[in-house]
A and B are shown apart, each in its own frame.
Chain A
Amino acid sequence: MAAVIETHELTKIYGRQKAVDRLTFEVRQGEIFGFLGPNGAGKTTTILMLLGLSEPTSGSSHVLGFDPVREPLKVKERVGFMPESIGFYDDMTARQNLQYVARLNSLPDSVSKKRIDDALEKVKLANEANKPVGAYSRGMRQRLGIAEVLIKNPKLIILDEPTMGLDPEGINSTLDLIKLLSVEEGISVLLCSHLLHQTQKVCDRVGILNRGSLVAKGTIEELSREGIQALLASATGRGTPADRRGLISLEDIYMRYFKEE
């Protein structure tokens, strides 16, 4: 399986703080990759670097075969990105918002008309398409965000905390939608979240990020096994203090994961 995202020793330093530290991972074609970690772990910074919105301090990455530093427009043409707090022009209707995005992607209106209808249909907003977005609820905005991402027919979508601020029903329908897109249309997904138990339902593989570096990677089953070992290791006090710090934070995530199970 070919990789849609590949990073090699990707590093970003803000001032004296290492936001992302020698990050190496890959997302394979057609899979949903969960990018997990507590707040401030460096998830958003990594995404910004993958989209060419922020320049890495060192290391390299390839997204759909393009280097985001050199060819950011080619990456942005092909990758759908939904930021953590999606913004819309509140005085415009949902359709107008989507049309604006379509025009920014230089799609002719004849093509975008159909795509907008399809996308709105998929996220079940076809009936409210002509309402101003200011009147939308949080869940509807989130769904509209996904519709917006679909407008450019992406091969890869990157979602930053797509379930944030949603009620349980909203979370479920959003996650189902993501799964559906991946299965039916073969879109690869990079899903960022700090909520392990939600994302494990849809993710094929996950990577756990802490303080800028990847502390674990693999399928959920693999990680549960490792997690137990990590707990044992920290209990018996093996490893260097630095290892243990990493493990304790990782443990925290697992504690939440175990509790909520």
Chain B
Amino acid sequence: MFTIFRKEIADHFNSTRFLILFCLVVCVALLTTYTVSMNLRSEISGGAKIEYLFLMLFTTSGQFFSLTQFIAFFGPLIGIIMGFDAINRERSAGTLSKLLSQPVYRDAIINAKFLAGIVTIAIMFVSLVLLLSGLGMVAIGVVPSGQEAARLAVYMLISIAYVGFWLGMAILFSIILRSIGTAALASVALWIFVSFFVGFGSGLIADVIAPADQNNPELLLKNARIATAIGRVSPVNLYSDATSTIMDPYRKTTKSFVLVGPMEKISMSRFNSALSLWQSILVVAPYLTTLVALTAVCFAVSYLVFMRQEVRSI
């Protein structure tokens, strides 16, 4: 299994599409960090250093989006691009039957492919976050505290689980669907569906079940709760909820519907105490578990389908 794993890793790092994708992500991330740090600098200069300033580097919007939003939106694509042709390319090139006729267990192939993908993602994320932290330190002149570093580490863990889910999804499609093109389209379709339509759909369903009444706060709350619960079907929502909790200690568990600028955030923080790291992790743990569970389900289904597939059709 280690042999296959080693080859898959090498393939990932050598492939053009991975390099293009990685360059793209790095470029966007660098640009965003730069804009954000410039904004932060001009806004907070003169004042006292606020707590968790370093994390704001990742959560404050630059021109259009913050870094965490960017990963929430773009992360699935990374997973899909790495996994959508994992098995069916080997099948169409005729190398799968060759692999299977060597003395390796059948599950070693799929285990190695999945593991290689996860490790590649992990390497990518760790290097990205380290790079951005370095840039941030230079740009805003603040060193992250131990707490902040720990939060970043948890953030990376969640991100890896998140992209891992999409990798598992894409590998599943690559096993079920014979054609590479179909598998790619199916994964992208699913990504768009959960990114956008689950959000709209959850609001609609909540309105049907518990119509919101502006004069009745209880109904309003019930409506919002149902909408959130349905929204959590989508891993995109799970991920963005989890990351914003871990990255923003001042975040309330109920979303405020008002946009908050960095200055207001600072003034709010006077009346607000931050959630401690441990508390944040407790809040996030169920989200992380669900993400990992979803990934595990994807992998388990892939595993079963792959093990039972008749070799005849190779």
A residues neighboring B (CB under 8 Å)? 14, 44-45, 48, 51, 53-54, 73-74, 76-77, 81, 83, 85-91, 100-101, 103-106, 148
Contacts and interface: CB of A to CB of B under 8 A. Distances in A.
Nearest to B101: A81
Interface residues of B, number: 22
A83 B3 contact: no
Contacts of A14: 310, 312
B102 A83 contact: no
Given A53-B101, A104-B4, 18 more contacts: A53-B97, A53-B100, A53-B311, A54-B310, A73-B104, A73-B105, A74-B103, A77-B103, A83-B94, A83-B97, A85-B94, A87-B90, A87-B95, A87-B96, A87-B98, A88-B93, A88-B95, A91-B14
Interface in B90-123: 90, 93-105
A51 B312 CA distance: 12
B17 interface: no
Contacts of B3: 100, 103-104
B215 to A, nearest CB: 64
Contacts, number: 59
B101 A83 contact: yes
Nearest to B105: A73
B4 to A, nearest CB: 7
B265 interface: no
Contacts of A103: 3
A76 B312 contact: no
Contacts of A81: 101
Contacts of B102: 76, 101, 104-105
Contacts of B314: 83
A76 B98 contact: no
Contact of B312 (A45, A85, A88): A45
A104 B104 contact: yes
A152 to B, nearest CB: 8
24 contacts: A14-B312, A44-B312, A48-B311, A53-B101, A73-B104, A73-B105, A76-B101, A81-B101, A87-B90, A87-B95, A87-B96, A88-B93, A88-B95, A89-B93, A91-B14, A100-B3, A100-B7, A101-B102, A103-B3, A104-B3, A104-B99, A104-B103, A105-B103, A106-B103
Contacts of B14: 91
Contacts of A48: 311-312
Contacts of A87: 90, 93-98
A148 B310 CA distance: 24
Interface in B1-31: 3-4, 7, 14
B101 A86 contact: no
A218 B105 CA distance: 36
- Cβ-closest 9 pairs across A and B: A87-B94, A87-B95, A104-B102, A53-B311, A103-B3, A77-B103, A81-B101, A76-B103, A87-B93
B309 to A, nearest CB: 11
A260 to B, nearest CB: 29
Task: Tell me which of B90, B105, B310 has the highest count of chain A C-beta atoms within 10 A of its own C-beta.
Answer: B310
B96 to A, nearest CB: 8
A101 B95 CA distance: 11
A108 to B, nearest CB: 12
